[in-house]
Structure 1
Amino acid sequence: MKKKTVTLLPLTHREDTQIAIKFLYEATIVKELKMLPEIKWTQTHRCYYMPYSLDNKQVLFIFFNDRGYYVDYKQLMIQKKEYKEAKPSYFKVDKEKLKPEDKKILWQYVSYLRGKRYSESTVKTYYHFILMLVAFTEKPITKLTYRDYEIFLEEVIAKGNYSISSHRQCVSAIKHFSELFLNEPLEKDLNLLRPKKDRKLPSVLSRNEVIRILQVTKNLKHRAILGLIYSSGLRIGELLSLQLHEIDVDRKQLFVNSGKGKKDRTVILAESILPLLFNYINTYAPQKYFIEGQNGGKYSAESIRSFLKKSCKLAGVVKRVTPHTLRHSFATHMLEDGVDLRYIQTLLGHSKPETTMIYTHVTQQDLMRIQSPLDRVVNQLKEKNNQQSKVGLSGRF
């Protein structure tokens, strides 16, 4: 039987390049297609369309391919111009043009940070900021003043559209740098250069949105990653560092070794995610880390962000979602279920629970009685369906 065909074509509409979607009308397909973010109908061209991007092209390919269509996208392949989201113009440094003495200073700075036992992630971040500072300033490093640092922050960090969080990190990097290299104390406290923290509320998914994201994530490894981040409230770095021996199936616990702030903690392991984890481990046979790259090393955080973004589009979730959004959702859903805030803070490994510091000391026995929000929502779905249909995560839904 001949496959149905959908054709993806370049389309100029509303003064921008779009992807036109041409196929024979089917009510069911149209209904599902309209659930994708950014899908619109143009009366002028009589077709559905999406903004032109590599991500959207892949989303459409997966959408129609999963529904038995042959996807003809040859016309998109001849597009010479790639359309990407505009990014801030950051200060660029040509390392080859750095003076030998500047390279020596940077190496000394990195050694200094490592001597203080900062994580490699922090060392890399601080190095990046000081690299820009060294390239930006024309004065000898030992002669820099408070005003010189201020100008650098104004001209490079603020104008480069760095986030408030990055701006604050840059000031921290400068503080360590000045401690190491300045001969004279500064006339003002560098903390005055630190902007106030953002007061933005975190983006949180509903329980149904979480389930939809897991349902549309067909890749077994990807689904295991997203399911574990949400069900245990892990940071992305903690998931990537999680080793197989740190998973205690019998006690339904994960041991997080040296999380943020170099603190160990134990978190809950959802009962409902175990079949998915067993399926993943038996299929992929990781050797050391729970999630491994192609060559056996640590998996890439960027890969997780990429496939999560695609899963959100397929699930019709229009919010801006990152792996940390799943962690925010874990905490919010537990709070909604009546779990004491002090338990949640301990499970999340927060070092500075400013408003609830008094409640941070809890026993592991109390923590392990807490039910994961993933278990709760799966059980609710079972009850709703009167247990007539199976709700599982390890295979196809």
Structure 2
Amino acid sequence: MRTIRLFAFQHRDELQIGITYKFDFKLNDFIKNMEGMRWSRTYSCFYLAYSVNNKKRIYTVLKKIGCIIDYSALKDLKTETVETPEGEHSNLNPQQLEILEEFQNYLNGQRFSKSTLKTYTTFVQRFIAFQRDKLNNITNRRIEIFIEQEIAGKNYAISTHRQCVSALKHFAALHRFPELKAEQISSPRKYKYLPVVLSKEEVIDLLRATQNLKHRAIFALLYSSGLRVGRALQFFQYQGGFTSCMQAGKYQKKVTPHTLRHSYATNMLENDIDLRHIQSLLGHSKPETTMIYTHVTQKELMKITSPLDVSLKALSNSDKKDGNMRLSRNVFD
């Protein structure tokens, strides 16, 4: 039986699923003719856009022809992307497709990024499919039901929930549905959390525990530059392994590759680098985003002195002439 290995890599500014295998003419022709399949000269492999649906499709199709699928390199990869159910786009009628295309053109006109355009379009596409033929009867309650069932009901992250609400507000702004009051569509409060941070010693331990030289180079790049993992992967054909390295390091913290970016910023603050410089290096548009790294820098915590210690130190300095002075101001022999 032929073994096929799947791995994730960044290509053309998007995450892709790469397919590698020992060359075989029949298998090569079969994979080449799969819907949506493309060839990368850079990585010398066939690939599809990364999505849960495509991963399942590759697995199902190749399993049927007797291949062994090794997708272990994809197991550590977690994304917040909301997947579109298979066939959902094809189930939209011509009128619905026209409305979706009009929304895409509206987003393009607003100069949204490619990533935001894709995310917002996916949410609206799912909402249109949810509404079926009732697009003229969109109310606040219908939107609430959609969010309750499709977003909150499926335990998507709060950040994803907020993106969905934002997409639907833009959809409402475009079409001005008479019974819909867009300003009343509420978003959940933004979740405030303190990022997990590794100390300098823990980062060194991680690098020591990483046996694969390419993985070690990736981790070193993430920590030394503060890059997001997607940007770093443009330089490497990464195939997972972060979790196993963290297990080898025996950390109790819940750590991901993005933790190295948090650690970079926090450790830079500990080294007395100005917050404005760190904001520029991280590419944050707002200083408030960078301010989160001022939460618990170890160096600053160590500088904090108890008020009692301050008082005793002042008292001690004033009584240097008599080293036998007690706190009660009595002299002991």
TM-score bracket relative to the smaller structure: 0.5 to 0.7
Q: 1:101 aligns with which of 95, 98, 108?
A: 95
Q: 1:343 aligns with which of 277, 281, 284?
A: 277
The AA in structure 2 aligned to 1:181 is H
Larger Rg: 2
Q: Which position in structure 1 is the counterpart of 2:265?
A: 331
Q: Which position in structure 2 is the counterpart of 1:26?
A: none
Q: Which position in structure 2 is the counterpart of 1:122?
A: 116
**Deviations 1:149-183, CA, capped at 9 Å, x for gaps:** 12211221111101111111111111222222334
Tell me, in whole angstroms, the C-alpha distance in 1 between the residues paired with 2:98 and 2:236.
Answer: 35
Cα contact 1:93–1:132 (8 A) shared by 2: no
Tell me, in whole angstroms, the C-alpha distance in 1 between the residues paired with 2:97 and 2:232.
Answer: 34
Q: 2:145 aligns with which of 129, 151, 161?
A: 151
Query: For 1:33-52, what aligned pairs fall within 5 Å after superposition?
Result: none
Q: Which moved more, 1:326-335 or 1:229-238?
A: 229-238
Cα contact 2:139–2:179 (8 A) shared by 1: no
Q: Which position in structure 2 is the counterpart of 1:35?
A: none
Q: Which position in structure 2 is the counterpart of 1:171?
A: 165
Q: Does 1:137 align with 2:131?
A: yes
TM-superposed CA distance for 1:91, in Å, is: 8.4
Tell me, in whole angstroms, the C-alpha distance in 1 between the residues paired with 2:230 and 2:166.
Answer: 21
Q: Sequence identity of aligned pairs in percent?
A: 48
Tell me, in whole angstroms, the C-alpha distance in 2 between the residues paired with 1:144 and 1:229.
Answer: 46
> Residue 326 and residue 134 in structure 1: after superposition, are their counterparts in 2 closer, same or farther (change >3 A)?
same
Cα contact 1:165–1:197 (8 A) shared by 2: yes
Query: For 1:72-87, what aligned pairs fall within 5 Å after superposition?
Result: none
> Residue 355 and residue 321 in structure 1: after superposition, are their counterparts in 2 closer, same or farther (change >3 A)?
closer
Cα contact 2:120–2:163 (8 A) shared by 1: yes
Q: Does 1:200 align with 2:196?
A: no
Tell me, in whole angstroms, the C-alpha distance in 2 between the residues paired with 1:138 and 1:356.
Answer: 43
Q: Which position in structure 1 is the counterpart of 2:327?
A: none
Q: Which position in structure 2 is the counterpart of 1:385?
A: none
The AA in structure 2 aligned to 1:154 is E
Tell me, in whole angstroms, the C-alpha distance in 1 between the residues paired with 2:282 and 2:110.
Answer: 25
Tell me, in whole angstroms, the C-alpha distance in 1 between the residues paired with 2:165 and 2:256.
Answer: 26
Cα contact 2:84–2:122 (8 A) shared by 1: no
TM-superposed CA distance for 1:356, in Å, is: 8.3
> Residue 326 and residue 355 in structure 1: after superposition, are their counterparts in 2 closer, same or farther (change >3 A)?
closer
Tell me, in whole angstroms, the C-alpha distance in 1 between the residues paired with 2:98 and 2:289.
Answer: 44
> Residue 335 and residue 292 in structure 1: after superposition, are their counterparts in 2 closer, same or farther (change >3 A)?
closer
Q: Which position in structure 2 is the counterpart of 1:312?
A: 246
Query: For 1:271-286, what aligned pairs fall within 5 Å after superposition?
Result: none
Unaligned runs of 5+ in 2: 1-67, 69-74, 292-333
Q: TM-score, normalised by structure 2?
A: 0.56
Cα contact 1:134–1:141 (8 A) shared by 2: yes
Tell me, in whole angstroms, the C-alpha distance in 1 between the residues paired with 2:129 and 2:289.
Answer: 41
User: In angstroms, what is the RMSD of aligned CA positions?
Assistant: 3.2
Q: Which position in structure 1 is the counterpart of 2:288?
A: 354
Pairs aligned (count): 214
Q: TM-score, normalised by structure 1?
A: 0.48
Tell me, in whole angstroms, the C-alpha distance in 2 between the residues paired with 1:347 and 1:90.
Answer: 32
Cα contact 1:114–1:123 (8 A) shared by 2: yes
> Residue 111 and residue 167 in structure 1: after superposition, are their counterparts in 2 closer, same or farther (change >3 A)?
same
Tell me, in whole angstroms, the C-alpha distance in 1 between the residues paired with 2:289 and 2:112.
Answer: 27
**Deviations 1:8-33, CA, capped at 9 Å, x for gaps:** xxxxxxxxxxxxxxxxxxxxxxxxxx
